[in-house]
Amino acid sequence: MVFLSCEVPTGDFENPLDWENLYKKGVEVPALVFVPDEVTVSVGDSVELRIIALEVNNVRGVSVTVKYDTTRLELKSVKAGDFLRGGNDPLFVYEKNSQSMTLDIHTVCLGPDSLSYSGTGSVAKIVFSVLAEGLSTVTIAGKSECVDPSDEPIQLETFGSAYINVE
Amino acid sequence: MAKSNFHKGLEGKNRWYTETAFLFFLPLLLNAQTIKTVAVLDFNATGLSVLEVQTLNQYFISQVSSTGDVAVLERTEIDSRITGSEYEGEASSCYNPDCALEIGRVIDVSEIILGAVVQEGDEFRISITNLSIADGQTVFSRDIIYRGLTDGLITEIQILAWEAMGRAPPEELMAERITGAVTADRSKSKVGAMIRSAMIPGYGQLYSGKKRWAGIWLGAETVAAGLIAMSYNNYLIAYDDYNKHQKLYNDALDPDVVSEHKENALASLSEVESANDQVKLATQLAAAVWLGNIAHAYLVGPGRAGAATSSISITPLVFSEGSNYNYGFKVTIGLD
């Protein structure tokens, strides 16, 4: 009691969309990244990853190819994010390929031809179930792209990865 | 006119007589100055008749007078001296050290003794306290439990009179003591006062009859405890704010929003650290007060005359080094 002192938190500022963290990790914009980009779970747990379009400009549609180890992670669900959702829900389709261990996601905003979105937002939400211990890596493939209203690809500088540490 | 030889001779003889008389009475004068004056107040009694209490009181006073070098102020003289003062008429109802000390100062004695006798069935609880008027310290304090005949009770009262004056009772008095009659001797001691104050601030001072100091220490510790509570509450509020902003930061999906929440979380974190510093400071203050109270309880606790209690002072100190604060004490012991 003589020298009572309370716990002082150290601050946990590891949000992957924190500019400071982005700079530290060498992320250059515009980019497609995962949030969170690091997580620790146990076998049987579910992990939710969001695909974030980071500082993009004049985007009409997004095509993302996600690579993951199907022997360690089981795809449970894929849902559309809010980035391309204006007044209408975006067109959103996805396809899982167990042989190539990939998940292809395609999403386009619906509306006038000139409609597009800029800035940062969630493109998709993916939920995996963890099957095995160890480190699992989920990666956004380099062939992923964002397109403008003219269906022209927009140059992306960084394709992110997420590290799932299973204890 | 020149003095005659007869007058000169007379002057010489007068001077010789004066000087001789002075030398003859000098020891007596010196001895008179070392005799201390003591007043004995009426005992506070429960379960005894007025006559019984007065009898015990007289036995006590008689023995005090027998201890030597003591002049016991007669009751009539006590009443006479406090007549006209604010304590007039209170000599017979003063049973606590605070009023005893005040009366002692008014009647101008060296020491004042107060006592209590409680009868419960065949058991007598006797409490005697001797206070020094000069410094307000407790010279002697003792509580005993006596079971036995009345004769034995009187003997114990007489023995306490000698002990209260710091003298060993005479052998013939001790020989009259009934073995085993005194079953509990709860002597008050400095260590007892110190232990009590360690448990509850001010309790040791109360144990020693220092009610005012007991209130001061208890009040100070209460204030310090209040500061701890207030600081801790501020800490909880700041921690709550930090958690809220941290969660908003973790959940944000826009870098600009993330930055905003990060700024808020850092500000809250700073407040948490500040509140924690306040808690530490308040805790150190409470600890300093607690330790000071323990030391003070020991110093003012019951003890013998001549013990180093009359010129000791404790001064709390605060040291600052930048934003850090430390507390300590300066103890000054007079060697005069």
Q: Are B174 and B238 contained in the same domain? A: no
Is A2 inside a domain boundary?
no
Is A5 inside a domain boundary?
no
Q: Hey, is the C-beta of A5 within 8 angstroms of any chain B C-beta?
A: yes
For B252-303, how does the pLDDT look when each residue is reduced to its tens digit (9 = 90+)?
A: 888 889 999 999 999 999 999 999 999 999 999 999 999 999 999 998 887 5
Is A1 inside a domain boundary?
no
The whole-number pLDDT of residue B311 equals 46
Of the partner residues A4, A15, A18, the one whose CB lies closest to the CB of residue B280:
A4
Is A51 inside a domain boundary?
yes
B210 closest CA partner among B111, B291, B97, B44: B97
Is the model more confident about A21 or about A61?
A: A61
Is B8 inside a domain boundary?
no
Q: What is the mean pLDDT of residues B53-80?
A: 90
Chain A residues within an 8 Å CB radius of B287: 1-3
Chain B residues within an 8 Å CB radius of A31: none
The whole-number pLDDT of residue B122 equals 81
Q: Given an 8 Å threshold on Cβ–Cβ distance, is A12 in contact with B246?
A: yes
Q: What is the mean pLDDT of residues B123-144?
A: 89
The whole-number pLDDT of residue B215 equals 95
Q: Given an 8 Å threshold on Cβ–Cβ distance, is B255 in contact with A17?
A: yes
Of the partner residues B246, B250, B253, the one whose CB lies closest to the CB of residue A52:
B253
For A131-145, how does the pLDDT look when each residue is reduced to its tens digit (9 = 90+)?
A: 999 999 999 999 999
For residue A99, give how far its alpha carbon lies from the nearest alpha carbon of chain B (Å).
32
- Please report the residues numbered 55 through 74 in chain A whose beta carbons come closer than 8 angstroms to any beta carbon of chain B: 55
Is the model more confident about B89 or about B305?
A: B89
Q: Hey, is the C-beta of A39 within 8 angstroms of any chain B C-beta?
A: no
Interface residue of A15, A39, A118 to substitute, partner B, most B CBs within 10 Å: A15
Is B125 inside a domain boundary?
yes
Is the model more confident about A44 or about A86?
A: A44
The band of A31, judged by pLDDT with boundaries at 50, 70 and 90, is: very high
Q: Hey, is the C-beta of A23 within 8 angstroms of any chain B C-beta?
A: no
Q: What is the mean pLDDT of residues A9-34?
A: 88
ipTM of the complex: 0.70
CATH number, domain containing residue B131: 3.40.50.10070
DSSP tag of A22:
H
The whole-number pLDDT of residue B75 equals 86
Interface residue of A7, A10, A17 to substitute, partner B, most B CBs within 10 Å: A17
Is the model more confident about A156 or about B91?
A: A156
Query: With 50 as the cut, is the pLDDT of residue A63 above it?
Result: yes
For B91-129, how does the pLDDT look when each residue is reduced to its tens digit (9 = 90+)?
A: 778 888 888 999 999 999 999 999 999 888 888 889 999
The whole-number pLDDT of residue B179 equals 75
The whole-number pLDDT of residue A1 equals 46
Tally of domains within chain B: 2
Chain B residues within an 8 Å CB radius of A52: 253
Is B57 inside a domain boundary?
yes
- Please report the residues numbered 157 through 196 in chain B whose beta carbons come closer than 8 angstroms to any beta carbon of chain A: none
The band of B313, judged by pLDDT with boundaries at 50, 70 and 90, is: low
Q: Residue B50: which domain range?
A: 35-187
User: In the predicted model, what is the mean pLDDT of chain B?
Assistant: 82
For A84-121, how does the pLDDT look when each residue is reduced to its tens digit (9 = 90+)?
A: 988 788 999 999 998 999 999 999 998 888 889 999 99
The whole-number pLDDT of residue B86 equals 83
Query: With 90 as the cut, is the pLDDT of residue B334 above it?
Result: no
Q: Given an 8 Å threshold on Cβ–Cβ distance, is A12 in contact with B269?
A: no
Is B192 inside a domain boundary?
no
The whole-number pLDDT of residue A142 equals 94
The whole-number pLDDT of residue B332 equals 59
CATH number, domain containing residue A107: 2.60.40.680
The band of B322, judged by pLDDT with boundaries at 50, 70 and 90, is: low
Q: Are B49 and B166 contained in the same domain? A: yes
* Planar angle of CA B162, B168, B170, nearest 5 degrees: 85
Q: Give the span between the Cα atoms of B50 and B43, in whole angstroms.
A: 10
Q: Hey, is the C-beta of A4 within 8 angstroms of any chain B C-beta?
A: yes
Share of chain B above pLDDT 70, in %: 78
Query: With 80 as the cut, is the pLDDT of residue A4 above it?
Result: no
Query: With 70 as the cut, is the pLDDT of residue B6 above it?
Result: no
* Poorest-pLDDT segment among B58-72, B118-132, B305-319: B305-319
Is B288 inside a domain boundary?
yes
The whole-number pLDDT of residue B10 equals 47
Q: Residue A90: which domain range?
A: 27-166
Is B216 inside a domain boundary?
yes
The whole-number pLDDT of residue B323 equals 58
A78 closest CA partner among A52, A105, A58: A105
Which chain B residue has the Cα nearest residue A2? B287
User: φ, ψ for residue B276 (rounded to 5)?
Assistant: -65, -40
The band of B24, judged by pLDDT with boundaries at 50, 70 and 90, is: low
Query: With 90 as the cut, is the pLDDT of residue B329 above it?
Result: no
A62 touches A52 (CB < 8 A): no
Q: Are B41 and B172 contained in the same domain? A: yes
Is B301 inside a domain boundary?
yes
Q: Are B217 and B327 contained in the same domain? A: yes
Q: Hey, is the C-beta of B252 within 8 angstroms of any chain A C-beta?
A: yes
Six-digit token string for B192:
């007892």
Is B200 inside a domain boundary?
no
Q: Are B112 and B49 contained in the same domain? A: yes
Q: Are B173 and B314 contained in the same domain? A: no
Q: What is the mean pLDDT of residues A139-160?
A: 94
**Total CB pairs under 8 A between chain A and B:** 71
Q: Are B173 and B45 contained in the same domain? A: yes
Query: With 70 as the cut, is the pLDDT of residue B154 above it?
Result: yes
Q: Are B279 and B324 contained in the same domain? A: yes
Is A10 inside a domain boundary?
no
Tally of domains within chain A: 1
DSSP tag of A100:
T
The whole-number pLDDT of residue A136 equals 94
Six-digit token string for B325:
């604060």
Query: With 90 as the cut, is the pLDDT of residue B83 above it?
Result: no
The band of B316, judged by pLDDT with boundaries at 50, 70 and 90, is: low
